[in-house]
Chains A and B, each alone.
Chain A
Amino acid sequence: DAGVIQSPRHEVTEMGQEVTLRCKPISGHDYLFWYRQTMMRGLELLIYFNNNVPIDDSGMPEDRFSAKMPNASFSTLKIQPSEPRDSAVYFCASSPHPGGPGTDTQYFGPGTRLTVL
């Protein structure tokens, strides 16, 4: 398996533009997580899905952020409009079901480095 795939790897955009980050989880994994990593705030969980259904979005910073998982093999994180403070590395991770993700490993993608000018 190729692991968790994220695209793009790097994104540079201007303030006010819409940004869409993409993630393909490992096949067969039931859980998908979106994280944001910054120097100031560390690693933050934004939202996670179980079987394509959002379970907890309490980490989504504000209404400018939205996430979807239309099927088991694809998820998007959208920021509209983007702001400079959104600059960060965004990670997607997936986890298999047995025992629940708290007992199983979360497999992280390589991340998308977003820069909003």
Chain B
Amino acid sequence: AQSVTQLDSQVPVFEEAPVELRCNYSSSVSVYLFWYVQYPNQGLQLLLKYLSGSTLVESINGFEAEFNKSQTSFHLRKPSVHISDTAEYFCAVSVSNAGGTSYGKLTFGQGTILTVHP
């Protein structure tokens, strides 16, 4: 079975500083990888996802994540954060079979609370 580990439960940073939220996964089969963001009192929203192709994926609001198969990691980065980025971030993995058809389930990490201070 697959699992996801988010190494930091809380990450405080100052505005305009860079940030990295770490995510490692374990799985014996091919995976698809996701980052979701949850703002206070809201549901989760997809931030970005890796399915195949380029190992570097980007979101529309400046976040990027790189799939590293050898290190089984999918860390999320942003070169300069804003106050509005304060939220909880979840890394997730879904399992695909050899044919690339997903089994449909997402396994989530425990979440990382990013707090951006002025």
Contacts and interface: CB of A to CB of B under 8 A. Distances in A.
B43 A102 contact: no
Contact of B104 (A101, A110, A111): A101
Q: What is the predominant secondary structure among interface residues of chain B facing chain A? A: strand
A16 interface: no
Given A91-B43, A110-B43, A99 B102 contact: yes
Interface in A1-28: 4
B46 A105 contact: yes
Contacts of A34: none
A108 B44 contact: yes
Interface string B40-54: 011111100101000
A48 B108 contact: no
A43 interface: yes
Q: What is the predominant secondary structure among interface residues of chain A facing chain B? A: strand
A100 B102 contact: yes
Contacts of B106: 33, 45, 101-102, 106
A99 B90 CA distance: 22
30 contacts: A31-B104, A42-B108, A42-B109, A42-B110, A43-B44, A43-B90, A43-B108, A45-B107, A48-B104, A56-B104, A91-B43, A91-B44, A95-B104, A99-B102, A100-B102, A100-B104, A102-B32, A102-B95, A102-B101, A102-B103, A102-B104, A103-B32, A103-B51, A103-B94, A103-B96, A106-B46, A106-B106, A108-B43, A110-B41, A110-B42
